[in-house]
Amino acid sequence: MIIAVADRNASIRPLVEQAGLVAEARPDMIILKGEGMTEEEYVEAAKAISDICRKNGVEFCASTFIEAASSLGVKNICVPIEGLEGFVPAGFDKVLVHVQSEKEATDAERRGASAVIFGNVFDLSCKSCRNAKGLATLRCLTGAVDIPTIGAGGILQDVFNEVLAAEAAGICMTSGFMRSKDPVVVVKAYRDARARLRV
């Protein structure tokens, strides 16, 4: 599974325009990040991007504004585990939960998460050395839960093989898509890496 995060703050083009290019590349899902947006701005962007996703056969996933997403009829939601009170929000087909440890992953599964996103695969404070200390934790998570575990955090095309070798169900990328002039290349690189692993 390849998940693209549509983030206004990271985009090289206007958000909806860049998200449109990403949707045309057909990742499995696009998550609309709401950081820095008002609820009104988020709803407007969600309407536009979810429509683009639907036309391209890509799943759309909301985050941050859960009630607004529900009112729009969005079927997928992404939430941080620290934001959960009790079980995951009801009324969604898929609930993806951000986790940072094996304990959080098992807790998210117990609360009803459909999948977990582990966001610390690569140390973002160490870009020059590409510290992959999170790969070991990612591998532990994949063995600790029965739901899909998605690798995120510093993921670029040059590390697809490493993340997939850790038995992750997929990857989640922000900058790799929001700063790409040709998202089709990114999706193809992932699909090729996945195919090679299965040979």
List the domain range (segments joined by +) for residue 162: 2-194
When the pLDDT of each residue in the chain is averaged and rounded to a whole number, the result is 91
> What pLDDT, on the 0 to 100 scale, is given for residue 60?
98
Over residues 67-92, the pLDDT tens digits come to 899 999 999 999 999 877 778 888 89
Is position 165 within any domain?
yes
Is position 199 within any domain?
no
E-assigned strand segments in 2-93: 2-6, 29-32, 59-63, 76-80
* Token reading at 55: 């036309």
Split at pLDDT 50, 70, 90, the class of 128 is very low
> What pLDDT, on the 0 to 100 scale, is given for residue 82?
84
Give the burial class of 15: count Cβ atoms within 10 A of its Cβ; 0-12 exposed, 13-18 middle, 19 or more buried: buried
Split at pLDDT 50, 70, 90, the class of 134 is confident
Q: Mean of the pLDDT values across residues 133-161?
A: 90
Contact 36, 8 (CB under 8 A): yes
Is position 82 within any domain?
yes
Using alpha carbons, select from 121, 160, 125 the residue that is nearest to residue 137. Answer: 121
Split at pLDDT 50, 70, 90, the class of 129 is very low
**Contacts of 181 by beta carbon, 8 Å cutoff, 6+ apart:** 12
Number of structural domains in the chain = 1
Q: How many CB atoms lie within 10 A of CB 29?
A: 22
Over residues 150-186, the pLDDT tens digits come to 999 888 888 888 898 889 999 999 999 999 999 999 9
For position 160, which CATH number holds? 3.20.20.70
Local structure of 159: helix, strand or coil: helix
Over residues 96-120, the pLDDT tens digits come to 999 999 999 999 999 999 999 998 8
> What pLDDT, on the 0 to 100 scale, is given for residue 125?
60
> What pLDDT, on the 0 to 100 scale, is given for residue 8?
95
**Contacts of 14 by beta carbon, 8 Å cutoff, 6+ apart:** none
